[in-house]
Amino acid sequence: MSAEGSAEVSVPTDLTVTSDGDSEEGYAASRRYARELQNLASEKAELQRIVQKQKLELQSKDAQLAALTREHEAAAAKAVSQKDDQISSKQIQVNRLDAELSRAKAELNMFRERAARELAQLTQKCALFQQNQKRLTIKQDELRTSLANLTLTEEEFIRLRRTPAQQLTLQQYTALRVYELVWPLRVKFNEAEAVKLSLESALSAKDSDLKSRSEQCLKLQRNIEELHRKSDQYASQLMNLKDEQRSDDYKVRNYARVKTERDQLQEEKTSLTKRTNELELLVATLKKERNILEERSSDLKGKTRKQEQDLNQYQEDVVDLRTKLDRITEELKTCNKNLHLERERNEDLHGKYVAARGDITSLTENSQDYQHEIKMLREKCQSYNLQCSNLQEKVSLLSEKNEMLCIELEKCNLKYIAETQALDTEVKELRSSVSSLSKNRDGLVDENSKLYQEIQKLEASYLEEKSKRSNENMALNQELQRVKHLLAGYEGLEIEYEKNIRTAATLPEDEANKVLDKILPGLRLTGNKGLEHSISLTRRVLQLERQNTEACTTIQQLSDALEHLRNTVASYKTALTLAGQPSSNLLERIASQDDQITILQAALQHNSLSKTTLEEENKTLTREVIKLKNELDSMVNETNELSAIKQQLQVVLQALPQASFSQPNTGLQDDHHKSGSASGLPAGNQTSRTDEQGKHQSSTKAIIITKDSRRGRH
């Protein structure tokens, strides 16, 4: 500080040594150059502040760009996660449908096994029935051969019945008795043959029905095998899709496609939910009908068991009747033998007829016994007729039950056909959904690849801009370092000069001139281009700062609004996904929110345009800074020239005699006294300046003179 104080004193003393006009002109020129250097230093400080502000703005813009990139990446990750969730939900639906299909296949297999068991039972019953029929036919032939000799017509039966028993021969009597016993059995046999024919026709109809059902089962089995094969293909495709989705490249490439597919899948999800609800209702109704059918089938099984038991009882009754017929045939054989014996006896006793009149009484008694036996046989025939009528009633009931069973079987067939058609429609819908999913996947892959390319381009441009900014910052830092080295002595001037320039920039021209006159006497805006330019620059900078603060506030407000809108849209979307079907109010709200988003995007575009304008203005300011740097360099050269001139003046002043130095010193002291009184400096300071007049000073020391004089004025 002592060196600076000596430098402050030396220049005016040197200038006051000469009594010529050259010293005054040199002093005035040095003061003018000092003022210009001061102005240039203030302008340089102002430009430095502007550069720092621009750096801060650039840093804020870089931070905004980084935030935007982070938001974009977060949105992309969120969209990818949502798409993965939708794909997982679709996979769950596909698995559920596969489980339902497997369950339906199991039910079909159960129905098929049940039908096969029933078919086997029916075939066994048919075989037993045919065996019984064969046995009955054999026995019928045997009875026909045995009873061929005892056949009578109805006329002969009526004629013989009208004749008294005493007039009948033994052969006629036995034939009449056999006819009376066999006639109701023959009637029953005819009825049994009619029943057999009806049962054979029913069996043939059931056989044809079973054949048609077996063909339908084969067709269904083939369809099921085809569905198995297609389900395996779809499962392999889904595994490939999962493998592709697990890779990061797939997520990046398929972002746009996944986004479009998400909307389509949302619509498909609503349709599938409707379809699943309808199918669940159908499944519930089918389950109810199935329970009803199972109950009916159990009832029918019980009825069939009862009918089988009745048939077994009837077969046992038939066996009993056959045993009785066998007994009757044996009795008839014995009767025939007896008849042969009686004939032989009659032939032997024919000659002895008169003598055997007493034997006739015994024969009459025997005839009475035979009549009693005939009455007994007639009663048995009546009981047999009652049993046959009961059997006919039971057979009619069985036929009615068989018809009911046929009707229920037809109903079951119709329901089975309806279920198969519903399953076919579901399979077709699944095929269409899988094809649409594959198409959407391809579109999303293309859009995701496009988005990935755009992101790469944006990252490359961002890196280029970052490198450019870093280069510019490096250049600016180097320039600032150089300027700092040059402006090391202007530490105290920056704050005051900045305050005064800012106050002058905010005031009109007259008040600005007053403020500048306080800084330096005689300093005016008019005629000083550098000062006018610096004040205009400060005004522009203040305006830009206001605009920047307003833009920052608007950007913050818009970003907050965007975040709020995103949250609301996300909440609406979650509500929509939970609700399944969006209501009209929610759609209107979403449309209004989309409109607000478009408005905010337009505002952001406007802000981006204002940002570009600010960047252009920043570029213009940098160009002006470069110009001012060039001017500063020229001024530095001029200061060097001034320092050389001062050195020459110093040499000249040292060469002058001491006597001539004393007289002008008084005049200059008066001048310095006036200037000191005007500036308010003390007399001791001025005397110290006159004592230190022999030292050489640089351009920076001349600037410090103006600084001290300005402090004295203040």
Question: Of 103-107, 254-258, 299-303, 589-593, where does mean pLDDT reach its minimum?
Answer: 589-593
pLDDT of residue 543: 73
pLDDT of residue 2: 38
Q: In angstroms, rounded to a whole number, what is the distance separating the alpha carbons of residues 443 and 323?
A: 88
Residue 322 lies in a domain: no
Q: Are 214 and 410 in contact (CB under 8 A)?
A: no
Question: Which token pair is 374?
Answer: 């005939």
pLDDT of residue 154: 75
pLDDT of residue 378: 74
* Other CB atoms within 10 Å distance of the CB of residue 315: 12
Confidence of residue 514 (pLDDT cuts 50, 70, 90): low
Domain boundary among 428, 460, 492: 460
Q: What average pLDDT does the segment 216-245 reach?
A: 78
Q: Is the pLDDT of residue 13 over 60?
A: no
Domain identity same for 68 and 91: no
Domain identity same for 31 and 55: yes
Say whether pTM exceeds 0.75. Answer: no
Q: What average pLDDT does the segment 328-353 reach?
A: 69
Among 95-104, 527-536, 651-660, top mean pLDDT goes to: 95-104
- What is the radius of gyration, based on Cα positions, of the chain? 65
Q: In angstroms, rounded to a whole number, what is the distance separating the alpha carbons of residues 619 and 78?
A: 38
* Of 17 and 551, the one with more pLDDT: 551
Domain identity same for 490 and 560: yes
Percent of the chain at pLDDT > 70 equals 64
What DSSP string describes 410-464? HHHHHHHHHHHHHHHHHHHHHHHHHHHHHHHHHHHHHHHHHHHHHHHHHHHHHHH
Q: What residue numbers bound the domain in which 229 lies?
A: 85-119+149-274+327-349+370-460
* Of 359 and 614, the one with more pLDDT: 614
Question: Which token pair is 256?
Answer: 């746009």
Residue 154 lies in a domain: yes
Instruction: State which H helix or E strand residue 85 sits in.
Output: helix 21-146
Domain identity same for 154 and 239: yes
In the chain the first and final C-alpha atoms are separated, in Å, by 21
pLDDT of residue 1: 37
Instruction: Report pLDDT digits (tens) over 627-643.
Output: 776 776 777 677 777 77
Cα distances from 159 to residues 153, 154, 164, 176, in angstroms, run 10, 8, 10, 10
Q: In angstroms, rounded to a whole number, what is the distance separating the alpha carbons of residues 701 and 490?
A: 11
Confidence of residue 576 (pLDDT cuts 50, 70, 90): low
Q: What average pLDDT does the segment 85-107 reach?
A: 78
Q: What average pLDDT does the segment 415-429 reach?
A: 75
Residue 128 lies in a domain: no
Question: Of 59-63, 104-108, 462-466, 513-517, where does mean pLDDT reach its minimum?
Answer: 513-517
Amino acid at 666: T
Q: Is the pLDDT of residue 699 over 80?
A: no
Question: Of 219-223, 384-388, 657-661, where does mean pLDDT reach its minimum?
Answer: 657-661
Domain boundary among 627, 650, 673: 650
Cα distances from 478 to residues 54, 225, 265, 481, in angstroms, run 16, 80, 58, 5
Domain identity same for 13 and 29: no
Tally of domains within the chain: 3
pLDDT of residue 9: 37
Among 1-15, 51-65, 599-613, top mean pLDDT goes to: 51-65
pLDDT of residue 509: 64
pLDDT of residue 428: 78
pLDDT of residue 206: 75
Q: Is the pLDDT of residue 673 over 80?
A: no
Question: Which token pair is 636?
Answer: 């530095």
pLDDT of residue 5: 39
pLDDT of residue 664: 43
Q: Are 111 and 287 in contact (CB under 8 A)?
A: no
For the chain, give the mean pLDDT. 70
Domain identity same for 108 and 92: yes
Question: Of 61-65, 277-281, 381-385, where does mean pLDDT reach its minimum?
Answer: 381-385
Domain identity same for 197 and 344: yes
Domain identity same for 429 and 544: no
Among 246-255, 309-318, 693-702, top mean pLDDT goes to: 309-318
pLDDT of residue 349: 62
pLDDT of residue 712: 44
Q: What average pLDDT does the segment 180-186 reach?
A: 77
Question: Which token pair is 410?
Answer: 């037809």
Residue 502 lies in a domain: yes
Judge residue 8's burial from the number of C-beta atoms within 10 Å of its C-beta, 0-12 exposed, 13-18 middle, 19 or more buried: buried
* Other CB atoms within 10 Å distance of the CB of residue 609: 10
Q: Is the pLDDT of residue 222 over 80?
A: yes
Percent of the chain at pLDDT > 90 equals 0
* Of 32 and 293, the one with more pLDDT: 32
pLDDT of residue 690: 43
Domain identity same for 695 and 677: yes
Q: Is the pLDDT of residue 677 over 70?
A: no
Q: Is the pLDDT of residue 670 over 50?
A: no
pLDDT of residue 709: 41
Q: In angstroms, rounded to a whole number, what is the distance separating the alpha carbons of residues 31 and 699?
A: 11
pLDDT of residue 680: 40
Q: In angstroms, rounded to a whole number, what is the distance separating the alpha carbons of residues 535 and 269?
A: 67
Phi, psi of 526 (to 5 degrees): -75, 135
Q: What average pLDDT does the segment 441-461 reach?
A: 75
Among 4-13, 125-134, 290-299, 360-369, top mean pLDDT goes to: 125-134
| 540-555 per-residue burial string, b: 16 or more CB within 10 A, e: under 16 | bbeebeeebeebeeeb
Domain identity same for 452 and 477: no
Domain identity same for 441 and 549: no
pLDDT of residue 357: 64
Q: Are 185 and 325 in contact (CB under 8 A)?
A: yes
Domain boundary among 460, 492, 523: 460
Instruction: Report pLDDT digits (tens) over 24-52.
Output: 777 777 777 788 878 888 887 887 888 88
pLDDT of residue 590: 62
504 Cβ neighbours under 8 A, 6+ residues apart:
511, 512, 515, 516, 525, 535, 538
Q: In angstroms, rounded to a whole number, what is the distance separating the alpha carbons of residues 406 and 208?
A: 13
Question: Of 53-67, 144-158, 267-281, 570-584, where does mean pLDDT reach its minimum?
Answer: 570-584
pLDDT of residue 594: 67
Q: Is the pLDDT of residue 415 over 80?
A: no
pLDDT of residue 662: 44
Residue 289 lies in a domain: no
Residue 594 lies in a domain: yes
Residue 565 lies in a domain: yes
Domain identity same for 377 and 410: yes
Residue 305 lies in a domain: no
Q: Is the pLDDT of residue 266 over 70?
A: yes
Cα distances from 383 to residues 194, 304, 342, 376, 388, in angstroms, run 22, 28, 32, 11, 9
Q: What average pLDDT does the segment 388-415 reach?
A: 75
Q: Are 635 and 36 in contact (CB under 8 A)?
A: yes
Q: In angstroms, rounded to a whole number, what is the distance separating the alpha carbons of residues 53 and 47?
A: 10
